[in-house]
Amino acid sequence: MKSNILAFFLSIGSIGLAVLIVWFYNMSDRTAPEMRFMAMDLTYDSKTAESELLKGVMAYDSVDGDLTNRVVVEKTILDEEQQTAVVYYAVSDLSGNVTKQSRVFPADIADIKGIKEEKEEVNIYSGGFFAQDENKSENTESEAAGN
């Protein structure tokens, strides 16, 4: 039967492929590098350069050694409510194993967004007859955040 012969060669082929995959798998470096952060005093604002964000970040790989110069800033996400910037770092070793970690900086959101002073607008409301009702202000609902 033709189909039996075909099935036979297909299974031989896939066994061979599996052996090859296992062999490559065992040969390669599969351990991602370690990233370490040193304590750093930085407030993220509009002038913060990527080079500053990379200070105090180190990466070490068991096979490739020191990979600190391969650490990149992947993205930065601002949290306006918490007034923080979460900076995401990534580093890959020479075999392509990737480690991603993030750290949080206090952020000057107003500076980043280019906001100057919006107090004049606010005064329109606080000066009117809403002023006394505004005592139950929405600003007091700040919940203590962890960390």
Token pair in block for residue 138: 């929405």
Residues 18, 63, 98, 122: which binds Ca ion (CB under 5 A)?
63
Judged by beta carbon, residue 87 or residue 91, the one nearer Ca ion is 91
Binding Ca ion by CB under 5 A: which of 61, 67, 85, 107? 61
- Subset of residues 75 to 104 that bind Ca ion, contact rule: CB under 5 A: 93
73, two tokens:
């800033």
- Name which of 24 and 129 has its Cβ closer to Ca ion: 24
For the CA atoms of 116, 121, 122, 128, the dihedral, rounded to the nearest 10 degrees, stands at 160
Binding region for Ca ion (CB under 5 A) out of 26-34, 47-55, 69-77, 131-139: 26-34
- Name the residue nearer to Ca ion (CB basis): 70 or 103: 70
Token pair 């490739």 is found at 64
Contacts within 8 Å (CB) and 24+ apart, 117-124: none
CB 57 within 8 A of CB 73: no
Q: Which residues bind Ca ion (CB under 5 A)?
A: 29, 31, 61, 63, 93
